[in-house]
Amino acid sequence: MFVINFTFAKLSNIAMTTEELNALREENKGRDTFSHPDFYEIDDLLTEEHKMVRDSVRSYVKKELSPIIESCAQNNYFPSHIVKQLGEVGCFGPQIPSEYGGGGLDYISYGLAMQELERCDSGIRSTASVQGSLVMYPLHKFGSEEQKRKFLPKLGSGEMLGCFGLTEPDHGSNPNGMTTRYTEDGDDIILNGAKLWISNAPQADVAVVWAKNPEGIVHGVIVERGMEGFTTPETHGKWSLRASCTGELVFNNVRVPKSNILPGVSGLKGPLTCLNSARYGISWGALGAAMDCYESAKNYAAERHQFGKPIGGFQLQQKKLAEMLTEITKAQLVCWRLGHLMNNGKATPAQISLAKRNNVEIAMNIAREARQMHGGMGITGEYPMMRHMMNLESVVTYEGTHDIHLLILGMEITRENAFT
Q: Which pLDDT score, from 0 to 100, does residue 1 have?
A: 44
Look at residues 328, 316, 326, 416 and name the one whose alpha carbon lies nearest to residue 119.
328
The per-residue pLDDT for 4 is 52
Per-residue pLDDT at 309? 95
Provide the pLDDT for residue 176: 84
Categorize the per-residue pLDDT at 115 as very low, low, confident or very high, splitting at 50, 70 and 90. Answer: very high
* pLDDT for 5 beyond 90: no
DSSP for residue 233 = P
Question: Mean of the pLDDT values across residues 122-147?
Answer: 96
State the average pLDDT over residues 175-189.
Answer: 94
CA 241 from chain center: how many Å? 10
Quick check: 342 pLDDT over 60? yes
Tell me how far apart the alpha carbons of residues 223 and 294 are, in angstroms, rounded to a whole number: 42
- Percentage of residues in the chain having pLDDT higher than 90: 88
CATH topology of domain 270-414: Butyryl-CoA Dehydrogenase, subunit A; domain 3 (1.20.140)
pLDDT in tens, 190-236: 999 999 999 999 999 999 999 999 999 999 999 999 999 999 999 99
pLDDT at 420: 76
Segment 145-165 shows an average pLDDT of 97
Whether the CB-CB separation of 116 and 122 falls below 8 Å is answered with no
141 near 261, Cβ under 8 Å? no
CB under 8 Å to 245, separation ≥6 — which residues? 78, 80, 199, 200, 201, 202, 203, 234
For residue 337, CA distances in Å to 24, 42, 123, 209, 341 come to 39, 11, 26, 32, 6
Is the confidence at residue 250, as pLDDT, over 70?
yes
162-260 CATH, one of 3.40.50.10480, 3.40.228.10, 3.40.630.10, 2.40.110.10 = 2.40.110.10
Per-residue model confidence as pLDDT tens digits over 20-54? 888 888 888 888 889 999 999 999 999 999 999 99
Q: How big is the CA angle at 113 (ends 107 and 119), to the nearest 5 degrees?
A: 135
Torsion-angle region of 405 (φ positive above 0: left; ψ -120 to 50: alpha; else: beta): alpha
Residues with Cβ within 8 Å of residue 206, at least 6 apart in sequence? 135, 151, 155, 160, 161, 162, 163, 222, 223, 224, 225
Query: Of the listed 184, 399, 412, 416, which one is catalytic?
Result: 399
Q: Which of 337, 296, 349 is nearest to 320 (CA)?
A: 296
pLDDT of residue 13: 66
What is the C-alpha to C-alpha distance for residues 258 and 256, in angstroms, rounded to an integer?
6
Outline where 75-180 has alpha helix (H): 82-89, 107-120, 122-129, 137-142, 145-157
Query: Average pLDDT of the chain?
Result: 93
Q: What is the pLDDT of residue 174?
A: 84
Residue boundaries of the structural domains of the chain:
18-157, 162-260, 270-414
Fold of the 18-157 domain: Butyryl-Coa Dehydrogenase, subunit A; domain 1 (1.10.540)
Question: In which element (H, E) is residue 211 found?
Answer: strand 206-212
User: Which pLDDT belongs to residue 11?
Assistant: 41
Give the β-pairing of 162-165 and 206-212: parallel
Q: 10 or 338: which carries more pLDDT confidence?
A: 338
Neighbour-count burial for 241-262, b at 16+ CB within 10 Å, e otherwise: bbbbbbbbbbbeebbbeeebbb
Q: What tens digit of pLDDT does each residue of 7-21 get?
A: 444 345 677 888 888
d(CA 365, CA 47): 30
Residue 99 pLDDT exceeds 70 = yes
pLDDT at residue 172, as a whole number: 79
pLDDT the model gives residue 82: 96
Lowest pLDDT segment from 174-178, 180-184, 341-345, 384-388: 174-178
Name residue 231's beta-bridge partners: 250
What mean pLDDT is predicted for residues 120-147? 96
d(CA 11, CA 70): 15
Active site residue 159: no
Q: Hey, what amino acid is at 11? A: L
pLDDT score for 10: 39
